[in-house]
Structure formats: C-alpha cells, structure tokens
Amino acid sequence: MADWRPILKRRDSGFPRIMGVLNATPDSFHPGSRVDGVGDAVERAVKMFEGGADWIDVGGESTRPGAVEVSQEEEARRVIPIIEAVREVLPDVGISIDSRRESVARMALDSGADMVNDVSSLGDPGMADLIAESECPICLMHMKGLPSNMQENPDYGDVVKEVRKSLSISSEKLVDSGVKPSNIIVDPGIGFGKLLDHNISLLSSGRSVVPVSEMGLMWGVSRKSMFKQMLGRERSGDRLAGTLGVAAIARDKGVDIIRVHDVTEHSDLFSVMEGIR
C-alpha cells in the first residue's frame, strides 16, 4: 500500500497535497461533485489528476447534514466499480475510499484504493484491525453525532481541546493495534457537528488538533455552509472564492492534505503562491 506522503511528489515546498472529491451519490450537498456512472467518474478523475490532484476521494454515501444512511450493499455497488476503473486508467494517483464501514473499506482496498477516509473515526469496530492488517493510511475525522442530527445545536466548552481529545482517543486505538502514527491523518471535521464559531476556531488553530506530531492534518472545507453564513452564498456553486480563501492559509497552518471539489483552481492557487514565495 502507498504511503500518503510520497505519492506524486508534486510539491515539496510545504503546500498541501490536493485530494479531489468524487461522489457516487445522488444527494451530496454540492451537485457539481456528483458523478453519473463509471464512465463519468473516470472522466472526472482524469481531469482532476491532470489538474493537479494527488488523491481522488471516492464516496458512496452522503454525510451532509440530515443525510439518510444507505445500505452496505448499495454503498459498495456505487464505489467499487469506480475505484477499479480509476485505478486501471490512473495507476499512479492516490485513491481514497470515503467510508465509515470496514466491509466497504476492505473491498475498496482490495479493488485498488490506497487509503481510508473514515468520517466516523473508527465508528465501525472492525476498522482499526483492517488498517493494521493492510498497513494503509487512514484519515480520522471528528464528527459530533451522526449526519442525521449533528447540526442540532452542537455545544462545546473548548472546541479545539475537545476535538483533539476525541481524535487522540481514536488514533490511540489504531496505534494500539499496531498502526504507525505516520500512517494516521486527522481531520477536525469542519461543518460536522459544529457551528460557525467552532469552525473558525478549528481552522485558526491549525495543527493544534493533531494528537502526535508524526500524524498528518487534512482539511475538508470546500464549498461548505460556513460560506453561506460568512458570505451570504446560498448556493454551494457560489462558494469557490470563500473556499480558496481558506486554502490560502492552509500551508501556514500546517495542513498536509486539502480535500476539494475544484482541483485545478486550488492547484493554480498553490502554484502562484509558491512562485511568489
């Protein structure tokens, strides 16, 4: 399995690696990220790769606020053929499976995926054993509650400390199972059981939520509802400028991977910033 850092060494200057979002779901919050079948998915994956993506994140279950859970069978039906096809066409790109289920993650890894992106932070008891067995990287995301109820008045005393503690507990389970800290990436879960002030505090804190220095940090902020609140942009399609504003501070906040819908725009942003530096 591929380590998350060496894949496609396009940027050695400290800018985050880019993970493009590929949603095999009919109800993801941003319509522009939804794909219609394997052919469409491969076409978009190639475009993202050519635009500068180091990773393609394939998901088959929406976790937007209020989303309804889909069956294991349906999730696998959506993502496995896409992973197989993308791997065949793009042998060098990193592929991540965005799933909370150990069974789906296992099938995805067997089909060519390199990493697991688990928004439930080991909500499935079997996930830790799978990661230890496969020796693949994993991203643990913080989420307070479930997608169906996570935005119902989430409350924190100190959001940064509480998110770090939660991620520390999950990552310790992995380390106890034999997973190297360097194979663990954490994500503060912007918009997952957080209000605007919580999101801003977490973004401002940067790597303060990372339990161990060897671990990576991923941000997934692309086109989220915080930009509706901050900028008055009702439609997700109108939130690119706000998204790029956050991406512009990612390097200085120590972010290793940034998960986005708009790969080329982020690649251009980092290239210009790198050129100026």
Q: What are the pLDDT digits (tens) for 159-185?
A: 999 999 999 999 999 999 999 999 999
Mean pLDDT of the chain: 90
Distance, in Å, from the CA atom of 140 to the CA atom of 250, rounded to the nearest integer, reads 18
Residue 106 lies in a domain: yes
Q: Which residues pair with 23 in a beta bridge?
A: 34, 59
Kindly state the average pLDDT of the residues 107-119. 96
CA dihedral defined by 73, 65, 145, 126, rounded to 10 degrees? 20
- Coil vs helix vs strand at 208: helix
Residues above pLDDT 70, as percent of the chain: 89
pLDDT score recorded for residue 14: 81
Residue 177 lies in a domain: yes
Residue 9 lies in a domain: no
Structure tokens at 250: 């990612």
Residue 6 lies in a domain: no
Q: Which residue has the higher pLDDT, 204 or 236?
A: 204
Q: Which residue has the higher pLDDT, 144 or 117?
A: 117
Q: Is the pLDDT of residue 2 over 50?
A: no
Q: Which residue has the tokens 């009919």?
A: 26
Q: Which residue has the higher pLDDT, 225 or 26?
A: 225
Overall number of domains in the chain: 1
Residue 1 lies in a domain: no
Residue 224 lies in a domain: yes
* CA 191 to mean position of chain CA atoms: 13
Q: Quick one: pLDDT band at residue 149, thresholds 50, 70, 90? A: low
Distance, in Å, from the CA atom of 161 to the CA atom of 5, rounded to the nearest integer, reads 27
pLDDT score recorded for residue 66: 65
Domain that holds residue 178: 17-276
Distance, in Å, from the CA atom of 66 to the CA atom of 91, rounded to the nearest integer, reads 36
Q: Is the pLDDT of residue 59 over 60?
A: yes
Residue 128 lies in a domain: yes
Q: What is the CATH number of the domain that holds 221?
A: 3.20.20.20
Q: Which residues pair with 21 in a beta bridge?
A: 57
Residue 217 lies in a domain: yes
Helix axes of 37-51 and 263-276: crossing angle, nearest 10 degrees: 10
Distance, in Å, from the CA atom of 248 to the CA atom of 272, rounded to the nearest integer, reads 11
Residues with catalytic function: 224, 259
pLDDT score recorded for residue 171: 97
Residues with Cβ within 8 Å of 245's Cβ and at least 6 positions away in sequence, in order, are none
Q: Quick one: pLDDT band at residue 148, thresholds 50, 70, 90? A: low
Distance, in Å, from the CA atom of 75 to the CA atom of 56, rounded to the nearest integer, reads 17
